[in-house]
Amino acid sequence: MHERQEQTGGFAPDPATLSGHNADVYFLRSRQILEAEGLDPVVTMEVFARRRGLLCGMEEVAALLGRVLPGGEAWALGDGDWVDPLEVVLRICGRYRAFGTYETALLGMLASGTGWATAAAACTEAAQGRPVISFGARHLHPAATRYMEYAACVGGCAGCATPAGAELAGMEPSGTIPHALILSMGDTVAATAAFDRHIDPAVNRIALVDTYGDEADESVRCAAALGERLWGVRLDTPSELGGVTPELVGRVRRALDQDGHGHVRIVVSGGMTPERMGAFLAAGAPVDAFGVGSVISGAAPIDFTADLKEVDGRPVAKRGRRPGRTENARLQRLEL
């Protein structure tokens, strides 16, 4: 698993989760009934998914269990592990009333995180070794963005846009200049030069070159102004103008090279999907990095299921499932 961020509160559960306020109400009612009946069995719960995916969300799960499972034990696979259909990814043993309420949260953490990480893995594979940066935070509720961006990095993204997501992933956030800054300053070169003057030199200088003029011309202008300090240019041409195409990337590359700026890299963004990324590279477009958004942030969750498999040491299961533990030698004991 990734090194935990508990020292900064990284994966700590929020109050609504700890209180059960965002749990399915039938779990709350089940706890109420068991309390009234004086029952609190020791149970074993197992969690699995029905399709293959890149596991993510287990750091959150571990942080939650560490708060609500006194005297209990858990075994799990780790964030970044590929998991097969029906493979047990998490086993929890403890008093049911201690953790049963949190089934909704545990499954949701794994479902969302694994969906995002799996989508990110598809993007990084399509990029064929080129860096992929997650820019999808704007497509999600802000309460979820840090977990999505962490999952994107688990899936292989080289960076993400928000400080909160980057903190969980143990890296610095990525991003330079929006169209709004260029429009506010009235000129692409002026905005890029201002970034160069005021932002930490450790941050790559990447000019956004589709706001006012022709992308190739703007790229050459920015390269002439910053020289070797310009790391790259980003193409984000809107669909109203035909979007970013392999032909446009090639034209920008030729213009930069002809003007002596062969060091300047080209970053492509705007509606990127694994299929589009593959098409760019198949066409020979000289792309150096990709920015991706909703293809990761909008990825469908991968459903996980939780089953009780033992109650007070007795093998149990609902109809259609095998009673008792399902062994998986890959599971590792969690330090709760």
- Cβ neighbours around 145 below 10 Å, total: 21
- Cβ neighbours around 294 below 10 Å, total: 16
Share of the chain above pLDDT 70, in %: 97
pLDDT tens digits, one per residue of 155-198 = 999 999 999 999 999 999 999 999 999 999 999 999 999 999 99
pLDDT at 4 over 70: no
pLDDT at 8 over 70: no
Fold of the CATH domain 6-114+301-333: Aldehyde Oxidoreductase; domain 3 (3.90.1170)
pLDDT band of residue 9 (cuts 50, 70, 90) is low
Of 183, 188, 174, whose CA–CA distance to 136 is shortest? 174
Phi, psi of 171 (to 5 degrees): -145, 180
Mean pLDDT value across residues 24-34: 98
E strand intervals along 63-134 = 73-76, 82-83, 88-95, 132-134
Domain 117-297 CATH superfamily: Aldolase class I (3.20.20.70)
Of 306, 319, 297, whose CA–CA distance to 104 is shortest? 306
pLDDT band of residue 2 (cuts 50, 70, 90) is very low
Mean pLDDT value across residues 69-73: 94
pLDDT of residue 3: 45
Q: Which residues contact 124 (CB under 8 A, 6 or more apart)?
A: 132, 155, 156, 157
In this structure, are residues 233 and 207 in contact, taking their beta carbons and an 8 Å threshold?
yes
CA distances from 12 to 61, 162, 233 (A): 9, 18, 38
What's the mean pLDDT when you consider all of the chain? Answer: 95
Q: Which residues contact 47 (CB under 8 A, 6 or more apart)?
A: 88, 89, 90, 91, 92, 106, 107, 110, 304, 305, 306, 307
pLDDT at 7 over 90: no
Question: Where do the structural domains in the chain lie, given as residue ranges?
Answer: 6-114+301-333, 117-297
The rounded distance, in Å, linking the Cα atoms of 53 and 113 is 10
pLDDT of residue 10: 87
pTM listed for this prediction = 0.94
Per-residue 3-state assignment (H helix, E strand, C coil) for 269-311: CCCCCHHHHHHHHHCCCCCCEEEECHHHHCCCCCCEEEEEEEE
Of 165, 173, 169, whose CA–CA distance to 202 is shortest? 173
